[in-house]
Every structure is written in structure tokens, then in C-alpha cells.
Amino acid sequence: MNDLMQYKDYFGSVRYDDDERVFHGKVEFIRALVSYEGMDVESLRKAFEEAVDDYLELCRKQKREPEKPFKGSFNVRIGPRLHQEIALTALNEGMSLNQYIA
């Protein structure tokens, strides 16, 4: 993807603000707000990597586990009818709902 950067299993968005003439972004797929900006591609990339490193260091100092972008679970909201249909199909197949969805 052209609008994402990756560093240490974290993904950062790439945006451009023409009014301010600055690139900016945030670490995606985590709840914590970790943002960065730069005047050009090189400085944006450097700021992204520094932001990830700073986030990891802050977590270490606070003795808390850093958020992982992808934990292997996600919630999906579907209607009750579809939920029932999928659950019954999984049961008929001899599978759990998680096994069936996966």
C-alpha cells in the first residue's frame, strides 16, 4: 500500500495537508494515539520510526504491555438471523463458530 509504512510490526498512515504543507500520520490498528509529522518523505519516515520507538519505550518504563496491531481476534456485528444461520451451520459441520468463521 502506498499510504502505509511498516516498522517493528506497526503500521503508520501517510497523509498530506496542503494548507500546512506537511506530511503527517498516526500508528494504525492500536487504540493509543501515536502520531508524527515531517516536511518530506524522509523526515516523515524517520518521525514514524521514532514515534514507534518512543511508544515502546514509554510502555517499557510504565511496565505495561504495548498494544499489538493484530491480536488474532476481532468482533463483527451481524444481525441475529445471520448469527443464528452461521451458528447452526457450524453445529451441523461439527465445528465451533470460531472454527467455521476461520
Q: How far separated are the first and last CA of the chain, in Å rounded?
A: 25
Across the chain, what does the average pLDDT equal?
Answer: 94
Question: C-alpha cell of 80?
Answer: 441475529
Of 43, 7, 46, the C-alpha closest to 27 is 7
Q: pTM for the whole thing? A: 0.80
Residue range 33-51, pLDDT digits in tens: 999 999 999 999 999 999 9
* Gap between the Cα atoms of 94 and 10, Å rounded: 37
Residues forming a β-bridge with 22:
17
Residue range 46-76, pLDDT digits in tens: 999 999 999 999 999 999 999 999 988 888 8
Using pLDDT thresholds of 50, 70 and 90, give the confidence band for residue 12.
Answer: very high
